[in-house]
Amino acid sequence: MHDIKRRAFMRGAALGALAFTVGGVEVLITPGEARAQGVPFRLLKANEGETIEALGETLVPGARKAGIAHFIDHQISVPAEEALLQARIFNVRPPFANFYRAAVGAIDRGSEKVFGRKFAQLSSVEQAELVNQMRQNKIEGWTGPPAAFVYTLLRTDAVDVVYGTMEGYAALGIPYQAHIEPEKRW
């Protein structure tokens, strides 16, 4: 009981949510909610968002619905020191948008080389095959950030939105046990 009381005391003591603009008003919603509400991207182009969603879904099922593209779009639009991206841990040099644009371009070029179409247009079997080759740096003529690094970083982004949230923990049956809960179960 003592512990539960302490957790309750700490709850809500800080803000931990992402601000998206909906109808001209800033609201605190999750990336998944932003996607569901059709919130426009800040920096990503539509085709870049499609590629990221398709890759994210291939890497971690559920990443598309969880809003991986909106998450990345939001995070590359804020100052690097405010970003929650694994890119900062992997020592990517800001602005992080440069990396993601280069990565998306590399994925689509690699996809066209191997299958003749952009990544989002591939079947799920083809997408998995390409990702498996990316993971092992096996795509010949790949240009841009190293394929295995793109795999690793985007995989972490997908893990973030699917398994890194309070909902993700709940889906795996793991008690989250926050000292301070993120807002919006984020």
46 binds other proteins (CB under 8 A): no
* Straight-line distance from the first to the last Cα atom of the chain, in angstroms, rounded to the nearest whole number: 25
58 binds other proteins (CB under 8 A): yes
19 binds other proteins (CB under 8 A): no
User: Given the rule CB under 8 A, which of 21-29, 36-44, 138-146, 176-184 is the region that contacts other proteins?
Assistant: 176-184
14 binds other proteins (CB under 8 A): yes
Contact pick of 82, 116, 140, 141 for other proteins (by CB under 8 A): 82
Helices marked H in the chain — which ranges? 2-10, 31-36, 46-59, 68-77, 86-89, 96-115, 124-135, 147-163, 166-171
Nearer to other proteins, 46 or 174 (CB): 174
Binding string, residues 93-112; x marks residues near other proteins by CB under 8 A: xx------------------
CA distances for 110 relative to 22, 44, 105, 127, 147, angstroms:
35, 20, 8, 11, 9
